[in-house]
Amino acid sequence: MPQKLKFLDRYLTLWIFIAMAVGISLGYFFPGISRITNALTVGTTNIPLAIGLILMMYPPLAKVDYSLLPQAFKDKKVIGISLLFNWIIGSMLMFGLAILFLRDEPDYMAGLILIGLARCIAMVIVWSDLAKANREYTAMLVALNSVFQVFSYSFLVWLFINVLPSKLGLANFNVTVSIKDVTESVLIYLGIPFLAGFISRYTLVKSKGMEWYNRKFVPRISPITLYALLFTIMLMFSMKGNKIVEVPMDVIKIAIPLIIYFILMFFFSFFINKWLKIPYDKNASIAFTATGNNFELAIAVSIAVFGISSPQAFVGVIGPLVEVPVMILLVRASLWFKKKYYIF
């Protein structure tokens, strides 16, 4: 039976707007909240925020079945296409859109690039199920992206933010990041939950069984991602209470390239796969895996490297706000394409 979008996920955009509004209100009416937040910082790490970010990443990584990886590599054609779309085409497309739309705002541009380099490992399973894709293939691709992300994200951030802009002569792009800082952030905010998720799955499946793990444990931990995300957003926007008037236009400015990115990635991937005669269920798995992004990781790295109230972190928050309604529409498009091109 195909999965239905749960109540919390269905209205994710609304919850994000509410969290933003609550955070802005707290910052506006209680300006001392920023002093309290800063007092809970050790070095460059804010303790409550770090806990929230790690909790945000843990559930999706605990859901990944890493035992599927050896099987994934057997279908070299599908894996090759998926890696091409996720790690080359997707990264380059978001980089191009960032230059096109945000060239004069380098901080927002860097935030958009951070999103483009982080591949989806969470909600993509929901979108794939809704589109009646191949769940096993989606799980294999998510497992592959999870492992690849741990080892490649730091290098890609360095390449696309420090190297390529200067090579292309983008004089206005004066943002640089330390690969050391990004690596530390990835190890903390992706490495810790990755290890915790792997250990959780290995030990609990071994002791309780796969059915108990998927039917009991996973549903219990799944909402943690949403709660931690909303907590992070609320805390971030509490630092922006005095900028309330600027927020709506900034949201629109960032949303436009994101919407274009989602649409282009999905349709390009879907029709290339169709041309290659890949069956619908695998086609949809590849298309949705290529289209979604790991906003949790982008937010975590933005906060760790640039700061909680940075424009880069703000861009990361706009991501899921835009992604949910667009992906729901793409699910409907995918099902329509299935009837039009695959059912004879």
Q: Is residue 9 a part of any domain in this protein?
A: no
Do residues 170 and 99 touch, judged by C-beta distance below 8 A? yes
The pLDDT tens digits of the residues spanning 187-205 come to 888 888 889 988 999 999 9
Q: Is residue 323 a part of any domain in this protein?
A: yes
Q: Is residue 5 a part of any domain in this protein?
A: no
Domain total in the chain: 1
pLDDT of residue 244 exceeding 70: no
Label residue 4 by pLDDT band (50, 70, 90): low
* Res 223: pLDDT: 87
Q: What is the mean pLDDT of the chain?
A: 83
Q: Is residue 136 a part of any domain in this protein?
A: yes
pLDDT of residue 239 exceeding 80: no
Range from 169-173, 211-215, 220-224, 240-244 carrying the lowest mean pLDDT: 240-244
Q: Is residue 130 a part of any domain in this protein?
A: yes
Residue 231: how many CA atoms within 13 Å on its side-chain side? 17
Q: Is residue 126 a part of any domain in this protein?
A: yes
* Res 24: pLDDT: 80
Q: Is residue 343 a part of any domain in this protein?
A: no
Residues spanned by the domain of 137: 17-338
- Residue found by looking up tokens 């809704």 in the block: 130
Q: Is residue 10 a part of any domain in this protein?
A: no
Range from 12-16, 236-240, 244-248 carrying the lowest mean pLDDT: 244-248
For residue 291, the domain's CATH number is 1.20.1530.20
